[in-house]
Structure 1
Amino acid sequence: MTSRSLLRPLALAGSTIAVALVLTGCSIPTNVFSGDAERDEAGQVTSESNIDIFELKVGDCKLADDATSTELSDTNVVRCSDPHDEEIFYEFDLPDGDFPAADAVEQTVWETCDPQFEAFVGISELDSALTYAYFSPTQDGWERLGDRTIQCVLYSEDGTQLEGSAKGTKI
């Protein structure tokens, strides 16, 4: 499982939309055979899917998860050309060792994701209409599964959905 840590408290709008879809009877298809989405030769998602959190890749666009949950085992991905709430823009692994303290993880995230945000979007986060959060390993995932991966996840600061990849947009 992966823990979701928000650096900014503005991710509720997307989860409200997802909850509304569920309550109105809409559903998101699940790929029950592989745990991953259908992808083209370039690795891009080709249809909406509920995937195992460990199948999430850089460049994936997704719908917001339940903002009240601190642990995720699955998430909903969509084609980036479809309306979405978040996009994975970078990932890296923490070094082996004991499970790190939350403040150490957050410091590493700031030092690593900030320059990668600017490289991906084309402007600094401070000048952007976008911001980011991150997914990080839980202690259980760290110890039992060897999960060391941090994923940097961008989203619109005002909670509006994105259409298309944010790569190079300078928004």
Structure 2
Amino acid sequence: MKTATRRRLRPMVFALILAVATPALTACVPPPVVDEFRRVAQHFLSKDQSTPTPTPTDRVYRGNTDFADLRVGDCVNDLVALDYTVILGLNVVDCASAHDSEIYALPKLSGSSAYPGDDAVQALADDACHGAFAPYVGIGVESSDLDYDYYTPTESGWTSDGDRTATCVVFHDDAQTTGSVKGTAETSVTSS
């Protein structure tokens, strides 16, 4: 999921810590880990703070496409992202190739500027994604072998940036799918 509540660190403090720690890290940590630290530091120093600020213990997943740039109909390989504590984007792939999920709706959730809590946001997303399933797939989720899930806005995104967008994904429980499920109105799809 996009992420649950995360503690925000001051970007400059974290960047300073990374600047001091990076020379020491390069001596004892593999280059991919150092590169991830650098990417996180660059994110903290950027002007866009709409995504949650990861803590030093968070496992950060950066897909090739930010949540704000995802579109209905995008196919994604997102199962690997679910092993991370902070997800900043998803890997969009060609729908003609085998993929984990397909984005079928990006509903705006209702609510005030105060974050209503994780459970309330998840309930709003579940209602919106459930309602959008049949119009996209052509059959209700109760009659389909497909299932759905969703990514929700973070608390900081909700309160600071006005992010109310849920990301609804449709998938096959047992395998990846090939091709789009839009309008298939079938109980199953080609899976690999």
TM-score normalized by structure 2? 0.59
Q: Using the alignment, how far apart are the partners of 1:111 and 1:63 within structure 2?
A: 24
CA distance 1:139–1:154, shift in 2 (3 Å): same
Letter in 2 for 1:100: P
| Other-structure match for 2:3 | 3
CA distance 1:81–1:73, shift in 2 (3 Å): same
Q: Is the 8 A contact 1:53 1:72 kept in 2?
A: no
Tell me the matched-pair count: 126
If asked which structure has higher relative contact order (CA below 8 Å, sep 6+), I would say 1
1:165 matched to 2:177: no
Q: Work out the percentage of aligned pairs sharing the same amino acid.
A: 38
| Other-structure match for 1:151 | 167
1:120 matched to 2:136: yes
Q: Residues 139-168 of structure 1, C-alpha deviation per residue, up to 9 Å, x if partnerless?
A: 12223332110111111111x111111011
CA distance 1:134–1:70, shift in 2 (3 Å): farther
Gaps of 5+ in 1: 5-48
Q: Residues 26-74 of structure 1, C-alpha deviation per residue, up to 9 Å, x if partnerless?
A: xxxxxxxxxxxxxxxxxxxxxxx81222211111101024222243112
Cα distance, 1:107 vs structure 2: 2.4
Q: Using the alignment, how far apart are the partners of 1:141 and 1:2 within structure 2?
A: 10
Gaps of 5+ in 2: 5-62
Moved more, 94-103 or 71-80: 94-103
Higher strand share: 1
Larger radius of gyration: 2
1:61 matched to 2:84: no
CA distance 1:68–1:62, shift in 2 (3 Å): same
Q: Residues 72-120 of structure 1, C-alpha deviation per residue, up to 9 Å, x if partnerless?
A: 1122101111111011101111234211222222322232221211111
Q: Is the 8 A contact 1:3 1:70 kept in 2?
A: yes
Which of 136, 148, 163 is the equivalent residue of 2:152?
136
Q: Using the alignment, how far apart are the partners of 2:68 and 2:93 within structure 1?
A: 16
Q: Using the alignment, how far apart are the partners of 1:53 and 1:112 within structure 2?
A: 17
Letter in 1 for 2:164: R
Q: Is the 8 A contact 1:2 1:141 kept in 2?
A: no
Higher helix share: 2
Which of 100, 119, 122 is the equivalent residue of 1:106?
122
